[in-house]
Structure 1
Amino acid sequence: MTLGDDHETSGGYGGTGHTRTTRLPDRAGDVYGGARRGRGSSRSLVTVVGVIVLLIAAIAFANRGGDDPDTTSSSPDTAAGAQPKAGSTAASGEKPVQSKAGFAHDEQGAQSAAANYAVALGSADMFDKAKRDAILQAIITPSRVSAFKAALNKAYTPEFNKNVGLSPNGSTPSGYTFVSRTSPIGTKVTESSASNATVEVWCSGLLGLAGENSTNPVTNSWFTITMKLEWAGNDWKIVTHSQKDGPSPVPGDERASSADEMAKAVQEYGGFTYAR
């Protein structure tokens, strides 16, 4: 796939939603964040420690399963009341990231990288050239950064900004809240090797301008992003990117929120620190 192919779907780069604290590679510090603990009484501390001990004991008991010599001879199909293996109900059964320095060098890490990159490419920051360039520098393979920047500079035009409700220069009109967020629903690897992977990311996105009398109200969309990744600089980086519509579920019966409700929700609800 060429960059020109990517450019045909350029509207999808910045028009599909955002989480405000997506982890990107190569950033210093603790990207996972952490809140400071307030001082509490000794009794509260003992209670918390007691709860943690009970949780650890419960987890150890639940994971005992196949290690019990009395049950190892039974097959999964015949063992009465057999417990599911730990992680069998998780999204993948494996943790995709082993450290905070980058994504794991395997299929799980590639899927995790693609999910987080989808969030970044669909963020409101993509409408700001300086922030957009920083995002591309962080997630695009080095040999393709310049081409991506050039293509997206042509895509994010004053006319495009006006179409999504922004001022021609990309700023948000006074009294309105601009919304652009992407939420990954699932990922799938279609091709992989030691140094390359193609990952599809099924997403839901929000885009629009929240505020009274907005002519571009916030709407929801469903789409699938396909990323070709390569292992470069000890991390997964994007080589090409494309987007197609769907799969889209049947709309529900929920009442559409007012402009004020939507603006308040966007301002009060922060995005996820980590997408997958």
Structure 2
Amino acid sequence: MSLGDDGYGEDDRHHVTRTRLPEGEVDPYAPAARRGRPSGRNLMTVVGVVVLLIAAIAFANRGGGDSTSDSSDDASGHGGKGVSTGPTAPSGTKPVEGKTGGIASGFAHSEQGAQSAAANFAVALGGDGMFRAESRHAIVDATHTADTAPALQKKLDEAYSADFLKNVGLAPDGSAPKGQTFVSRTVPVGSKAIDYGTDNATIEVWCTGLVGLAGQGSTKPVSQTWFTMTEKLQWVDNDWKIVSSTQKQGPAPVSGDDRAAGADEIANAVSGYGGFTYAR
């Protein structure tokens, strides 16, 4: 099997997801040091936080209807007749350059563009900005259709209540306790089109994430989550926007032999490493 200019064989090109890295980023696939396992007590704390977060998103999207649509055996990916469940091959289309409210925008009017939009929207909706009213409103406006955003804003304001924020360890305004850093970061692992039409698409984004409070004295340490977001997208005003979305837990892999980092190490990593712009 011959290798192409990018180092992949012809067969491998159909099984690769392309991620645009920040300038100067090092190889993310470099071997990492072997670490110890986190304690069972930390795991139970993690589960409690994860359930709270998923409950908030589920509440906010309640009444949005079924988040998936039927797919036929047709793998053409056009006309809403269903698409192949296989991974999308890199097409060479460059990641978007535009931004709306700090969120990538101006996606291609194609299946690849819809998947890229869904992945970037998952990052925004799973970020710490959702826990503060002002930034949450901006995120929802930037990612959802104009018809969807107002009602969703109201539901989210109810979901991210003072009681909910208190359970997560935050103040009523969404701020973290003094000396601690709140972490909520979503990282798409992969995506697939469940259905695709000219102006509508249903995309699933499989994600991992970090959530919790980093810092000395934290009772809710930062831990890893796994979940799948299903986004119904619509092509409006020359871009993809969300009509409705749902979230479910998993699929989660077996936990690795990684040593849990200290509170300061996690806090420094969160502030020192930026996020990505995703494209298929």
TM-score, normalized by the shorter chain, greater than 0.5: yes
Kindly provide the CA deviation profile for residues 20-51 of structure 1, in whole angstroms up to 9, marking residues without a partner as x.
xxxxxxxxxxxxxxxxxxxxxxxxxxxxxxxx
CA distance in 2, matches of 1:98, 1:207: 27
- What SS class does the counterpart of residue 142 from structure 1 fall into? coil
Q: Is the 8 A contact 2:4 2:10 kept in 1?
A: no
Q: Is the 8 A contact 1:98 1:104 kept in 2?
A: no
Match of 1:236? Answer: 240
Match of 2:216? Answer: 212
Q: How many residues align?
A: 197
Q: Is the 8 A contact 1:96 1:109 kept in 2?
A: no
After TM superposition, give the deviation of residue 95 of structure 1 in Å: 3.7
Match of 1:195? Answer: 199
Query: Which has the higher mean CA deviation after the structures are superposed, 208-217 or 106-115?
Result: 208-217
Query: What are the within-5 Å matches in structure 2 for residues 13-28 of structure 1?
Result: none
**Structure 1 spans left out of the alignment, 5+ residues:** 1-60, 64-82
Kindly provide the CA deviation profile for residues 98-148 of structure 1, in whole angstroms up to 9, marking residues without a partner as x.
753400001000000000000000111111111111111111011111011
Match of 1:248? Answer: 252
CA distance in 2, matches of 1:170, 1:62: 49
CA distance in 2, matches of 1:90, 1:246: 21
CA distance in 1, matches of 2:146, 2:184: 26
Question: Where is the helix percentage greater, Structure 1 or Structure 2?
Answer: 1
Question: Once superposed, what is the RMSD of the aligned Cα atoms?
Answer: 2.0
Alpha-carbon distance change, 194 to 253 in structure 1, aligned in 2, over 3 angstroms: same
Query: Which has the higher mean CA deviation after the structures are superposed, 169-178 or 103-112?
Result: 169-178
CA distance in 1, matches of 2:190, 2:176: 31
After TM superposition, give the deviation of residue 90 of structure 1 in Å: 3.2
Match of 2:278? Answer: 275
- What SS class does the counterpart of residue 148 from structure 1 fall into? helix
Alpha-carbon distance change, 240 to 89 in structure 1, aligned in 2, over 3 angstroms: closer
Match of 1:34? Answer: none
Q: Is the 8 A contact 1:97 1:104 kept in 2?
A: no
After TM superposition, give the deviation of residue 174 of structure 1 in Å: 0.7
Q: Is the 8 A contact 2:16 2:90 kept in 1?
A: yes
Q: Is the 8 A contact 1:204 1:223 kept in 2?
A: yes
**Identity of matched residues, %:** 51
Alpha-carbon distance change, 214 to 88 in structure 1, aligned in 2, over 3 angstroms: same
Alpha-carbon distance change, 87 to 253 in structure 1, aligned in 2, over 3 angstroms: closer
Match of 1:163 among 161, 167, 183: 167
Q: TM-score, length-normalised on structure 1?
A: 0.67
Match of 1:100? Answer: 97
After TM superposition, give the deviation of residue 219 of structure 1 in Å: 1.1
- What SS class does the counterpart of residue 171 from structure 1 fall into? coil
Alpha-carbon distance change, 223 to 99 in structure 1, aligned in 2, over 3 angstroms: closer
CA distance in 2, matches of 1:215, 1:98: 39
Alpha-carbon distance change, 213 to 99 in structure 1, aligned in 2, over 3 angstroms: closer
Q: Is the 8 A contact 1:95 1:108 kept in 2?
A: no
**Structure 2 spans left out of the alignment, 5+ residues:** 18-88, 99-105
Q: TM-score, length-normalised on structure 2?
A: 0.66
Amino acid at match of 2:212: G
Query: Which has the higher mean CA deviation after the structures are superposed, 192-201 or 160-169?
Result: 160-169
Match of 1:154? Answer: 158
Kindly provide the CA deviation profile for residues 177-218 of structure 1, in whole angstroms up to 9, marking residues without a partner as x.
110100000001001110000000000011100011211111
CA distance in 1, matches of 2:141, 2:11: 40
CA distance in 2, matches of 1:220, 1:90: 24
Kindly provide the CA deviation profile for residues 43-68 of structure 1, in whole angstroms up to 9, marking residues without a partner as x.
xxxxxxxxxxxxxxxxxx946xxxxx
Larger-gyration structure (1/2): 1
